[in-house]
Structure 1
Amino acid sequence: MTDTSDITIRLARTEDFDVLWPTLRDVIRAGDTYAIDPQLSQDRIRALWMEEPRATYVAEQDGELLGTYYLKTNAQGGGAHVCNCGYITSAAARGRGVARAMCRHSQHEARGLGYLAMQFNCVVETNTRAIALWEDEGFATVGVLPDAFLHPEAGYVPARVMFKWLGQGG
Structure 2
Amino acid sequence: MSSAYGIIPKPVSNISLDTILPISKTLRNGTKATLQQVDPNNQALVSVLRHLVNYEINMGSTYPQEHELDEEGFTSYFLAYDSFVLVKDDPIVPGKEYDMHDKVLGCFYVKPNYPGRCSHIANGGFFVSTVHRGFGAGIAMGESFPQIASALGYQASVFNLVFQNNEASIKIWRRLGFKEAGRIPKAGRLENSPGKLVDAIIFYKDFTEQNEETDVDK
For normalisation by structure 2, the TM-score amounts to: 0.71
Q: Which moved more, 1:56-65 or 1:139-148?
A: 56-65
Q: Distance in 2 between matches of 1:130 and 1:78?
A: 29
Q: Which residue of 2 aligns with 1:111?
A: 150
Alignment: residue pair count: 166
Whole-Å separation in 1 of the counterparts to 2:47 and 2:68: 18
Give the Cα–Cα distance (whole angstroms) in 2 for the partners of residues 139 and 110 of structure 1.
Answer: 14
The percent identity for this pair of structures is 27
Q: Which runs of 4+ in 1 moved over 3 A?
A: none
Aligned partners of 1:104 and 1:153: how far apart in 2? 27
SS in 2 for 1:103: helix
Runs of at least 5 residues in structure 1 that lack an aligned partner in the other structure? none
CA change 1:142–1:60 in 2 (3 A) is same
Paired with 1:24 and 1:92, the residues of 2 have a C-alpha distance of 14
Highest Rg: 1 or 2?
Answer: 2
Write the mapping of 1:1-170 to structure 2, written as runs, cut at 5 A. Answer: 1-3=28-30, 6-14=32-40, 15=42, 16-50=45-79, 52=80, 54-62=81-89, 64-154=103-193, 155-168=196-209
Equivalent pair of 1:69/1:85 in contact (CA under 8 Å) = yes
- Whether the 8 Å contact between 1:83 and 1:119 is mirrored in structure 2 is yes
Moved more, 135-144 or 41-50: 41-50
From the two aligned structures, give the one with the greater strand fraction: 1
Structure with more of its chain in helix, by fraction: 1
